[in-house]
Amino acid sequence: MFYREAGQYKTTYAADMAIFPIRQDRFGVALILFVAFVIIPAFGGPFFLNTMMIPFLILSLAGIGLNLLTGYTDLLSLGTGAFMGVGAYACYKLETAFPQVNILVWIVTSGFVSAAVGVAFGLPSLRIKGFYLAVATLAAQFFLEWCFSRVPWLVNDNDSGAIEVPNATLFGVFVTGPNATPTTRYLVALTIVAALAWIASNIVHGRIGRMWMAVRDMDIAAQLIGIRLLNAKLLAFAVSSFIVGVAGALMVFLWLGAAEPAAFNIDLSFEILFIVIIGGLGSIVGAFFGATVMHLMPIALRALPPMVGLPIEAARVDQLTTMITGILIVVFLIAEPHGLARLWRTAKQKLRVWPFPY
């Protein structure tokens, strides 16, 4: 009744091809952006921003990056954690070598380093597919993790063997380090995530995205209609690793504040992969849904027992959270094997014809 397009006429091709063709959708996106940019920073407490929103944004961004590779091009990668690490270490090296340059420049530049490494490890993708490619990216994961812990140059020979995030300012305001307020860090992360999500969304709706999807659906057919597989696949690796690398730099600089090599272990790769699978393969908004399930839901579950005054020990709460999260993931996947994004699409479709379904 409220969500329908009757009376909205498309008079140009551009309007027909728009990402959000319905006025209500455009209004919804504007509302979400308004809440994210104005309401949340104005009213969110430090715990909400630090522990919930900043990690949520960063994990969503990594999910978007992996989704371009796995969801849109069907190249399964288990090296996401390591590529995030490449971004983080590159950003650290650049920032400590040239501290006078704006930190945002280095965060974005580190994405290019990660993209280069991603392309290098993406080369086998021309010859192998599916699980075999997953094993090749797994090798990237282990090799890069080995580098992080074995090459002291990467951490400027720190005794701790970890990245120590320096204080960096932007227009005189602290952006990283302990003096940066959660609101500043949140806004920086939000701006970068929103910009990259917008770019990613445009890429997948354009020529490149269609090329990737053609490769995903049947690579021989794609080749026959004139798509160069090598270029398409390597481009997918490059763009995906770029976004993942930026997410990694954000993770260390805006969230953790210091990072041992263990921060980029295979668990992180799996976490991002789960975000993509639960959220929905081949969907940008799905990454946000996935991050909600993988990151925000456990925090909410952990907060529940103390909030209602149940006297449960911290460890038991943690174990219960893990179990409930696992059960919910299974339930979600049984309810909709194509992820939450598909559920969202179905719901929208139903809403369009409500209350008179045909």
Partner 1 sequence: MKRSLLKSLVGGIALGLALPAGAALADDSIYVPLFTYRTGPFAGSGTPIADGMHDYLAMLNARDGGIGGVKLVVDECETGYDTKKGLECYDSVKPKNPVLVNPWSTGITLSLIPKAAVDKIPILSMAYGLSASAKGDVFPWVFNPPATYWDGLSEILKSAGGGSIEGLKGKTVGYLYFDAGFGKEPIPLFQTLAKEIGFSLKLYPVAAADMQNQSSKWLDIRRDKPDLLVMYGWGAMNPTAIKEAVKAEFPMDKFISIWWPNDADVAAAGDGAKGFRELNWHATGANFPALADIQKLVIGTGQSQTPKDEVGSVLYNRGVYNSVLIAEAIARAQAITGKKAVTGEDVRRGLENLDLDAARFKALGLENFAGPLKTTCLDHNSHSATFVQQWDGAKWVKASDPIGPDTARVRPLLDEAAANYAQKNAWPVRSEVCDNK
> Which residues contact partner 1 (rule: CB under 8 A)?
45-47, 50-51, 55, 96, 149, 156, 158-162, 164-167, 177-179, 255-263, 265-266, 299, 306-311, 313-315, 317-319, 322
| Cβ distance to partner 1 smaller for residue 178 or 355 | 178
| Six token digits for residue 318 | 């943690």
CB of 149 to partner 1, least distance (A): 6
Least distance (Å) between residue 334 CB and partner 1: 27
Distance, in Å, from the CA atom of 89 to the CA atom of 106, rounded to the nearest integer, reads 11
The string of DSSP codes covering 73-113 is: T----S-HHHHHHHHHHHHHHHHHH-TTS-HHHHHHHHHHH
Which of 200, 254 has the CB closer to partner 1?
254
Q: Which is nearer to partner 1, 24 or 149 (CB)?
A: 149
State how far the Cα of 118 lies from the Cα of 251, in Å rounded to an integer.
Answer: 18
DSSP 165: P
CA angle 166, 93, 274 (to 5 degrees): 90
- What's the min distance (Å) between Cβ of 332 and partner 1? 23
DSSP-based three-state secondary structure for 177? coil
Nearer to partner 1, 225 or 315 (CB): 315
Of 29 and 262, CB closest to partner 1: 262
Least separation in angstroms between residue 164's CB and partner 1 is: 6
Is residue 75 within 8 Å of 122, Cβ to Cβ?
yes
Helix (H, G, I), strand (E, B) or coil at 228: coil
Q: Give least dist CB 83 to partner 1, A.
A: 18
